[in-house]
Amino acid sequence: MKQIDVETLRRWLEDGSPVTVLDIRSPEDRAQWFIPGSIHVNAYAALKAGAPDALSGIALPMDRPVVTICNAGKVSQVAAEQLLERGVQAVPLAGGMKSWSLAWNTAGIAQGNAAVVQVRRTGKGCLSYIIASQSEAAVLDPSLDPAVYLALANERGWAIRHVLDTHVHADHLSRSRALAEAAGAVLFLPAQNRVRFPFTPIDDGQTIEFGASSIRAIAAPGHTMESTCYYLDGRALFTGDTLFISGVGRPDLHASPDEAAERTRVLYRSLRRLLGLPADTLVFPGHASQPIPFDRKPICERLGAISTHIGSWLHSEKEFVAAILDRIPPTPPNYVRIVELNESGQTPEGDLTDLEAGANRCAVS
Ligand SMILES: [Fe+2]
Q: What is the pLDDT of residue 108?
A: 97
Predicted confidence band at 212 (pLDDT cuts at 50, 70, 90)?
very high
Cα(97) to centroid(ligand 1), Å: 23
Ligand 1 centroid–CA 223 distance in Å is 7
* Banded pLDDT at 317 (limits 50, 70, 90): very high
Is residue 237 over pLDDT 90?
A: yes
User: Residue 349: pLDDT above 90?
Assistant: no
Q: Ligand 1 centroid vs 94 CA: distance in angstroms?
A: 30
Element (H, E) at 179: helix 176-183
Q: What is the distance in A from the centroid of ligand 1 to the CA of 105?
A: 21
Ligand 1 centre and the CA of 297: distance in Å? Answer: 23
Q: What span, in angstroms and rounded, lies between the C-alpha atoms of 70 and 91? A: 12
Specify the pLDDT at position 68: 98
Sign of CA dihedral 16, 130, 144, 299: negative
Rounded to the nearest whole angstrom, what is the distance from the C-alpha of residue 108 to the centroid of ligand 1? Answer: 23
Confidence of residue 47 (pLDDT cuts 50, 70, 90): very high
CA distance 40 to 332: 26
**Regarding predicted confidence, which is higher, 178 or 352?**
178
Give me ligand 1 centre to Cα 236, in Å.
Answer: 20
Distance 168 CA to ligand 1 centre (A): 7
Examine the pLDDT at 360 and tell me if it is beyond 80: no
Helix, strand, coil percent values for the chain (each to nearest 5): 30, 25, 45
Q: How far is CA 171 from CA 17, 26, 127, 250, in A?
A: 32, 25, 12, 12
How does residue 355 score in pLDDT terms, banded at 50, 70 and 90? confident
Q: What is the mean pLDDT of residues 248-253?
A: 93
| Cα distances (angstroms) measured from residue 192 to each of 20, 219, 268, 343, 347 | 47, 11, 20, 11, 20
Expressed in angstroms and rounded, the spacing between residue 112 Cα and the centre of ligand 1 is 28
Give me ligand 1 centre to Cα 166, in Å: 9
* Span 179-188, average pLDDT: 98
Question: What is the whole-number distance in angstroms between the Cα of residue 169 and the centre of ligand 1?
Answer: 5
- pLDDT beyond 90 at 331: no
pLDDT for the residue numbered 361: 78
pLDDT at residue 348 in the model: 83
Mean pLDDT across the chain:
95
Q: How far is the CA of 77 from the centre of ligand 1 (A)?
A: 36
